[in-house]
Structure 1
Amino acid sequence: MKRYFITGLLIWVPLVITGWVLSLIVSTLDQSLRLLPEAIHPQNLFGFAIPGAGAVLTLAMILLTGLLAANFIGQKLVGWWEKFLARIPVVNSVYNSVKQVSDTLFSPNGNAFRQALLVRYPHRDSWTIAFLTGQPGGDIVNHLSGDYVSVYVPTTPNPTSGFFLMMPANDVVELDMTVDEALKYIISMGVVAPPPNHRVITNT
């Protein structure tokens, strides 16, 4: 009986958690319907609410924004908008900080989170997975001797929180592992291991 109960849990727990996460995401995206006039809300047009209509609207808005911003006129409008925000003291600092992070993370030409690493943390006798985010810059490089890299060490099972570290390049190990595989390994707390045929590339 206990074995059947555990088997049932192994089937239902992932399904319930997946449904809950998807429901949370869709309900959050559905808030974009508030941008529309009440008269054209799905509930007023069809007499009932359509779950996910706001999510579709949000994705369409993002796609349309990217399409418009990709041409010359759109780039000019974005430039004017950013100059306008630059005149607002508090908004300027917050917007610039968020934009720098988002440009680094989502730029197709960027290196942030493009490489999974194996690093010694929190002490020399233990290892954990980290992600390469770049190299130290600014005045920091004047106080570091040798070649250093910037890494992000995520926590488990929530990889959205973690620690930013600057480590000697010789102390990190580049893994022949995709970022998705590394994230699964972290979120599962080591239960979902990547395929065993991966090779490890060490820095020398």
Structure 2
Amino acid sequence: MPEPQQIKVEKTLLQRLRTYFLTGLVVASPVGITIYLALAFIDLIDRNVKPLIPAAYNPETYLPFPLPGLGLVFLFLMLTLLGFLAANFLGKYLIRVGERILNRMPIIRSVYNTLKQIFETVISENKGNFQEVVLVEYPRKGIWAIAFISSENTGEIQSKLDDDVVNIFLPTTPNPTSGFLLFVPKKDIIRLNMTTDEGAKYVISAGLVDPTSMPVKED
């Protein structure tokens, strides 16, 4: 029959092994998943773009082995060339003509304009970023939700309201790309010292990743 001391040592050893395994899992999983997704993305681009490369300009025609990422490089070069052409007078004219044709097609017009607005908003170099992380009472009084100030409200909406309001984006968890646009009086928000990146991590992790505790900002 095992001695109590021996049983205790075995339990301690198993606990340490479990801790080491979980620590290794936490360290390796993000790296492994990131590498896997990157390789899958490159493979997806290669499978769809490589067939479009003329054989005379495809290095794989002259090499005995495939070149991973060749499709991605070719796509980057083509998009860069397209951007260059679109920036000159002739390119702008052709784009205007193409947009006029698309705008005459009822369903396609809506899809095109929506996608165009989304990409211009995401890629635009002079787009605004979220300014601050705040707390707002939502969905009812006494319950608080984390949100982001997107901008000051100075337009028609503000002119219809008595209190000074700010535009607040209230994200959903764990997908912060969807959410609600709220117009909240300045006096009803609590400003936080955490950065927007920290606030986003807090939302994505559903509160599991708690930023370093900091004092609340004074209004």
TM-score category of the 2 structures, normalised to the smaller one: 0.7 to 0.9
One-letter identity of the residue aligned with 2:23: T
Matched, 1:55 2:72: yes
Calculate percent identity across the aligned residue pairs: 35
The match for 2:175 is 158
Instruction: Check conservation: 1:134, 1:149, Cα contact below 8 A.
Output: yes
Aligned residue among 91, 106, 119 for 1:89? 106
Shift of 1:59: 2.1
* Larger Rg, first or second structure (1 or 2): 2
Alignment of 1:56-135 (within 5 A): 56-111=73-128, 113-120=129-136, 121-124=138-141, 125-130=143-148, 132=150
For residue 186 of structure 1, the aligned residue among 195, 200, 203 is 203
CA distance in structure 2 between the partners assigned to 1:137 and 1:35 by the alignment? 48
Stretches of structure 2 that go unaligned for 5 or more consecutive residues are 1-16
Which range moved further: 94-103 or 22-31? 22-31
Q: 1:166 to 1:127 in 2, by over 3 A?
A: closer
Task: List runs of 5+ in structure 1 lacking aligned partners.
Answer: none
By how many angstroms is 1:118 displaced?
Answer: 1.6
Distance 1:173 1:105 in 2: 28
Taking structure 1 as the reference length, the TM-score comes to 0.73
Separation of aligned partners in 1, 2:207 and 2:117:
32
Are 1:176 and 1:201, in contact at CA under 8 Å, matched by a contact in 2?
no
With over 3 angstroms needed to count, the CA separation of the structure-2 counterparts of 1:35 and 1:199, relative to structure 1, is farther
Alpha-carbon distance between aligned partners in 2 of 1:159 and 1:94, rounded to the nearest angstrom: 23
The offset of 1:27, in angstroms, is: 3.0
Matched residue SS, 1:153 = strand
TM-score, normalised by the number of residues in structure 2: 0.69
Distance 1:142 1:172, change over 3 A: closer
Correspondence 1:22 to 2:38: yes
Residue 73 to residue 51, structure 1, CA distance change in 2 (3 Å): same
> Residues 16, 191 of structure 1: CA spacing in aligned structure 2 closer, same or farther, 3 A cutoff?
same
Evaluate the alpha carbon distance shift between residue 49 and residue 190 of structure 1 in structure 2; reply closer, same or farther with a 3 A threshold.
Answer: farther
Give SS of 1:46's match: coil
The residue type equivalent to 2:66 in the other structure is A
Please give the alpha-carbon distance, in whole angstroms, between the structure 2 residues aligned to 1:21 and 1:200: 39
